[in-house]
Chains A and B, each alone.
Chain A
Amino acid sequence: MNESLLRRAEEALLPPIVALLIALILGDVLILLFGESPLHVYGRMIEGAWGNPYGFAQVLYKTTTLTFAGLGIALALRAGLFNIGAEAQLAAGAFGAAVMGIILPAATPALLAVPLCLLAAAAVGFLTGGLPGVLKTKFGAHEVIVTIMLNFVILALLNWVIVEHLRVADTLHTAEIRAGAVPRLSEFIPAFHGSAANVTFLFAMAAAVWCWWYLFRTPGGYALRAAGLQPEAAEYSGIRVGRVWMKAMALAGVLAALGGTNFVLGYKHYYEDGFTGGSGFLAIAVAIVGRNHPFGVVLAAFFFATLSQGGLAIHALVPKQMVEVLQGVVILAMAASVPEVQRAIRGARKAVAA
């Protein structure tokens, strides 16, 4: 029993470690080509991300957005659907929360205002995620195409609403919300002072636990996974795959949209055009590297948040593009090596048994 647990841990952890090492070595070569010392660059990266409380809190802030969006993508992937729309879902959720926060009177107690803002974000996410699900089920429209195109539609629409109607003069953001702001973590941990990390981080962790419970402990989650593994078989066993797909996409939209509240409710207290900066796309990598497991997503989100925050700290030494190349290499290595390495493990084990 104990041995099999160890074996499972090895099986889960060794492949990513190999992939990470390959990525690090490629990074070494790149850094040397830039005429810098790898030790210096990596050291600075780690220092900037984990070496001081502020950097670490920034990592937590970035983890929050990536966890929510990554969960949305992972959940859809578990149902066999590729949700490329997290970028727009993040923005739409943030916008929904901001509008609710602006409409509510300033005196609204936080206990009422925060759930209302979250609900507004979730409702917007439900629509933006649910629409591709409905189109897929009812008309057979491929969810990849629909979600990609919806990104353009939603982001352009939000941009227009902000620029033409809702922005404060000379800026690209709305007015501040009057209610629904959540406290920053620095209010409980003074060392985090100045960081954007806020209570929505806890919401993200709760969402991960909920996703795990839903996927692996409920009939709905079972149906979702069955639909993803083998839709025909699931249909034959009495699962209504079309409905599962619609539900999965709507849920994915809700999760990604809640990620937008990290910025609006926890950080700036307004919606700003273009704040996502590609987090919704990075979240695809988070879901894949996290292997579509809710806890894997949290770890992967933390990892990519570290790369991103550490990347800021090493700008003086190497160009930003270098950090992006490194991120790309990590994603490639993780995604490509996992099945291969697993096969190698199996081969090795067979050899030992024989």
Chain B
Amino acid sequence: MRKLLITVAALLAVHAAFLVLSPRGTEAVGDADATRVGIVLDVGGRGDKSFNDGAYEGADSASRQLGADVRFIEPGEGADREAGLRLLAAEGMDLVMGIGFIFTDDLTVLSREYPNSRFAGVDFAVATDDSGNVIPPPPNVAALKFREEEGSFLVGALAALVGGSKRIGFIGGMDIPLIHKFEAGYRAGAKHVCPDCTVIAQYAGVTPEAFTDPGRGKELALAQYQSGVNVIFHAAGATGGGLFEAARATGKLAIGVDADQAAEAPGRVLTSMIKGVNAAVYDAIARVDAGTFKGGVYSFGLAEGGVGYVYDDNNRALIPEAAHQRVEQLKADIIAGRIKVPSTR
């Protein structure tokens, strides 16, 4: 017994010694009047190469360019979302953000309890009443929404113009309305420039795992390529990794999503449909920083630069100038309202 007590004492001493250690630089806290921002990420957390990483990137550039002081929380179980938001709101952050539609309820509750704090939600689900009118979010909440269908329209048109086949492929992740927006826009874009083209749309599954299954993605992609498809667009998260593998193996073309995915299959990525979560997050922080933040619905589409497609040195060789001109024209038409892009199938 004594031996054990001695062990305890020795361990305590070591621990105490560590406790007083303090690496230099930890006391360096940002300046007092910096804009303080708290962000609660979606359960997936950092490293998803899409949503959460996009939010992180936007906040990171805000802290570098605007000097904002940003804190991140990654929740574990369901109750941690509200707890994370609450911790940040209670600390008097200038702006508290929730990344993902799943924060909608939590943000609504918190914004009522902290009417003097500012909140923002990426993909915040805005409710509609029985007659279909939008119920605005609470006055201190900014709902940051994207018109993914507009960007998808452009890459759909590009796929039809460049693919050299009447069959055009789409691979979705989880079969949900959010992903249907990508499919609807893509389909409309392809049909717009090539009315007799067929769009083959397949989904990887009905569970969240449908976003993390590259094996399934490759299977679907290979089958589509074999059926005469030359270009496939994916909106399937990590499942899309299988598409790029299939594109490398067959030498056919793939279209990336959310971020520029050219590096996934060099030379085989026709373009990527960009969803600018980073720009939206940066924008919200910049508004707070400039004192112009207002609640309400913020919709990011082509006009706002919230969505778009990649055209740079990596893929210029894949896209004939005429096709590029045509897509640019379509982009201008959408921005001017001459083309209405559907958001449902």
Chain A interface, >50% SS class: helix
Please tell me if the beta carbons of B2 and A279 are within 8 angstroms of each other in the complex. Answer: no
Given A18-B11, A275-B77: A312 in contact with B208 (beta carbons within 8 A): no
Please tell me if the beta carbons of B15 and A25 are within 8 angstroms of each other in the complex. Answer: yes
Interfacial chain B residues near A278, Cβ < 8 Å: 76-77
Pick from B7, B11, B26, B43: contact of A277, CB below 8 A: B43
Bitwise, A153-196 to B at CB < 8 A (1) or not (0) is 00010011001100001111100000000000000000000101
Please tell me if the beta carbons of A29 and B18 are within 8 angstroms of each other in the complex. Answer: yes
Indicate if B176 sits at the interface (CB-CB under 8 A): yes
Q: A58 to B11: give the CA distance in the assembly, Å.
A: 31
Bitwise, B58-83 to A at CB < 8 A (1) or not (0) is 00000000000001111111111011
Please tell me if the beta carbons of A312 and B84 are within 8 angstroms of each other in the complex. Answer: yes
Please tell me if the beta carbons of B26 and A312 are within 8 angstroms of each other in the complex. Answer: no
Pick from A14, A159, A272, A313: contact of B78, CB below 8 A: A272
Interfacial chain A residues near B87, Cβ < 8 Å: 48, 312-313
Q: A328 to B257: give the CA distance in the assembly, Å.
A: 35
Which chain B residues numbered 89 to 107 have a C-beta less than 8 Å away from chain A? 90, 101-102, 104-105
Q: A163 to B90: give the CA distance in the assembly, Å.
A: 34
Query: Least Cβ distance of B5 to chain A in Å?
Result: 8
Closest residue to A348 on the B side, CB-wise?
B3
Query: Least Cβ distance of A153 to chain B in Å?
Result: 12
Please tell me if the beta carbons of A160 and B207 are within 8 angstroms of each other in the complex. Answer: yes
Please tell me if the beta carbons of B77 and A21 are within 8 angstroms of each other in the complex. Answer: no
Bitwise, B16-49 to A at CB < 8 A (1) or not (0) is 0011111101100000000000000001011000
Please tell me if the beta carbons of B86 and A40 are within 8 angstroms of each other in the complex. Answer: no
Indicate if B8 sits at the interface (CB-CB under 8 A): yes
Please tell me if the beta carbons of A276 and B78 are within 8 angstroms of each other in the complex. Answer: yes
Please tell me if the beta carbons of A315 and B12 are within 8 angstroms of each other in the complex. Answer: no
Indicate if B14 sits at the interface (CB-CB under 8 A): yes
Interface size classification for chain A: 35 or more
Closest residue to B79 on the A side, CB-wise?
A196
Indicate if B4 sits at the interface (CB-CB under 8 A): yes
Q: A345 to B6: give the CA distance in the assembly, Å.
A: 12
- The A-B contact count (CB < 8 A) is 146
Stretch at the interface among A30-38, A115-123, A125-133, A211-219: A30-38
Which chain A residues numbered 14 to 29 have a C-beta less than 8 Å away from chain B? 14-15, 17-18, 21-22, 24-25, 28-29
Q: A54 to B90: give the CA distance in the assembly, Å.
A: 10
Interfacial chain A residues near B207, Cβ < 8 Å: 156, 159-160, 163
Closest residue to B22 on the A side, CB-wise?
A37
Indicate if B1 sits at the interface (CB-CB under 8 A): yes
Please tell me if the beta carbons of B177 and A10 are within 8 angstroms of each other in the complex. Answer: no
Please tell me if the beta carbons of A21 and B12 are within 8 angstroms of each other in the complex. Answer: yes
Closest residue to A155 on the B side, CB-wise?
B207
Closest residue to B84 on the A side, CB-wise?
A312
Indicate if A107 sits at the interface (CB-CB under 8 A): no
Indicate if A234 sits at the interface (CB-CB under 8 A): no
Pick from A29, A274, A344: contact of B208, CB below 8 A: A274
Indicate if A240 sits at the interface (CB-CB under 8 A): no
| 11 residue pairs A–B, Cβ–Cβ below 8 Å | A14-B8, A21-B11, A29-B18, A171-B102, A196-B82, A274-B208, A275-B78, A276-B77, A312-B73, A312-B75, A352-B2
Q: Besides A18-B4, A160-B206, A171-B102, 18 other CB < 8 A contacts?
A: A14-B5, A17-B8, A21-B15, A36-B23, A39-B19, A42-B19, A170-B127, A171-B125, A196-B82, A263-B79, A268-B105, A274-B78, A275-B77, A278-B77, A311-B76, A316-B71, A348-B2, A349-B1
Please list the residues of chain A having a beta carbon within 8 angstroms of any beta carbon in chain B. Answer: 7, 10, 14-15, 17-18, 21-22, 24-25, 28-29, 32, 35-40, 42, 48, 54, 58, 61-62, 65, 156, 159-160, 163-164, 169-173, 194, 196, 263, 267-268, 272, 274-279, 308-309, 311-313, 315-316, 319-320, 341, 344-345, 348-349, 352
